Amino acid sequence: MTVILVALGAALGAPLRYLVDRAVQARHDSVFPWGTLTVNAVGSLVLGVLIGGAAVDAVPGSLVALLGVGLCGALTTYSTFGYETIRLFEDGARRHALVNVGVSVVAGLAAAFVGVTLAELLWA
């Protein structure tokens, strides 16, 4: 059953990643990968809430499988982040590449921390 929940979440997360990425990137006239940064930060926030809730038994494991592993796993994308960073370097946008690495790591960790904190406030 868990595998089915993960697959269902992933089936939602992958197209959602594509749609959000394209919508965000279309609003920016920049080589910076705003869309990937957005989906990664949002996914980290959602996962933080889920894991924080699961830690206090407020979020069931089935929901963590569906939304955490499936949806967030497909929504977030380390491979695209890596590819876009390398592409920026190769295209000569080295500052953008370095900023992408720094901002992405900090934003992802901060979003996860905020998510866990929100979960603690909601369910503690």
Contacts for 37 with CB less than 8 Å, ≥ 6 apart: 100, 103, 104, 107
Number of structural domains, the chain?
1
**Digits of tens for pLDDT over the chain (124 positions)?**
999 999 999 999 999 999 999 999 999 999 999 999 999 999 999 999 999 999 999 999 999 999 999 999 999 999 999 999 999 999 999 999 999 999 999 999 999 999 999 999 999 8
- pTM comes to 0.95
CA dist., res. 41 & res. 59, Å (int): 21
**DSSP assignment string, 29-84:** -SSS-HHHHHHHHHHHHHHHHHHHHHHTTSS-HHHIIIIIIIIIHHHS-HHHHHHH
d(CA 92, CA 111): 29
User: Domain of 99?
Assistant: 2-123
36 is in an annotated binding site: no
